[in-house]
């Protein structure tokens, strides 16, 4: 049986070692990229948590902590990345994003747990005052918040989603508005008016 020359064995072993090194470098590069992506993502989430922790706690003020998008931009340099990560967190139901009803081009960001806690607080307050059919709060939480990620909704769509919980009445919508969970888009917002959103709400 012919023997393989020692030089051929050495070349083969060297080639195998080179291939192993390449595979190891590729694996390290993938891990580094994954780590960098995680750090970028955590920058946005970390900034949100830091700002939330600084939200003032005032006695007899029931509003839960929220963060302005403009505040977040001042903490994280890459605005495009921030917007992308916010959309991801929104889809994963970590937070909610609200359009401010002030005419300013800014948004309020609230962690979903804080938002649900806010709804519970408002519901208990109205229950103490015996105001209206409080069942609509449960419908709103289950059938609207859970499926509607946008910060505005048309009246017809709102009623359609709420009807999954029960028969919707005008008083139900009024109750949500009075509770501060819905804000009717005013005619003064000309763009919304031109788009036919006169019967729409911000939430």
Beta bridge partners of 152: 202
Q: Residue 1: CA atoms inside 13 Å, Cβ hemisphere, count?
A: 1
| Residues 150-182: tens digit of each pLDDT | 888 888 899 999 999 999 988 898 888 888 888
Name the pLDDT band for 194 (thresholds 50, 70, 90). very low
**Cα(165)–Cα(167) distance, integer angstroms:** 7
**CATH code, residues 132-202:** 1.10.10
Name the pLDDT band for 61 (thresholds 50, 70, 90). low
Quick check: do 36-114 and 132-202 share a fold?
Answer: yes
Confidence check: pLDDT of 4 > 60: no
What's the CA angle centered on 20, arms 15 and 26, to 5 degrees? 125
Residue spans of the domains in the chain: they are 36-114, 132-202
What Å distances lie between residue 173 and 63, 96, 155, 163, 184, CA to CA? 21, 20, 9, 12, 10
| Whole-prediction pTM | 0.69
Count of residues for the chain?
Answer: 203
The DSSP string of 28-97 is HHHHHHHHHHHHHHHHHHHHHHHHHHTS---TT--PPP-EEHHHHHHHSS-HHHHHHHHHHHHHTTSEEE
Name the pLDDT band for 16 (thresholds 50, 70, 90). low
Which CATH class for the 36-114 domain?
mainly alpha
130 is written with which tokens? Answer: 């015996």
């Amino acid at each position: 049986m012919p023997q393989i020359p020692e030089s051929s064995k050495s070349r083969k072993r060297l080639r195998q070692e080179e291939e192993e090194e390449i595979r190891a470098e590729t694996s390290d590069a993938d891990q580094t990229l994954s780590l960098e992506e995680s750090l970028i993502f955590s920058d946005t989430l970390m900034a949100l948590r830091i700002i939330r922790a600084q939200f003032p706690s005032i006695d007899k003020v029931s509003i839960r902590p929220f963060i302005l998008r403009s505040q977040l931009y001042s903490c994280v340099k890459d605005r495009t990345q921030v917007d992308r990560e916010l959309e991801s967190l929104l889809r994963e139901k970590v937070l909610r994003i609200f359009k401010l009803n002030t005419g300013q081009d800014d948004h309020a960001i609230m962690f979903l747990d804080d938002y649900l806690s806010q709804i519970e607080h408002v519901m208990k307050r109205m229950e103490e005052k015996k105001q209206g059919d409080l069942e609509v709060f449960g419908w709103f939480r289950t059938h609207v918040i859970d499926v509607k990620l946008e910060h505005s909704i048309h009246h017809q769509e709102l009623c359609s989603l709420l009807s999954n919980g029960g028969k919707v009445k005008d008083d139900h919508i009024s109750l949500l508005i009075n509770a501060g969970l819905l804000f009717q888009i005013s005619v003064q917002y000309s763009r919304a008016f031109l788009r036919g959103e006169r019967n729409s709400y911000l939430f």
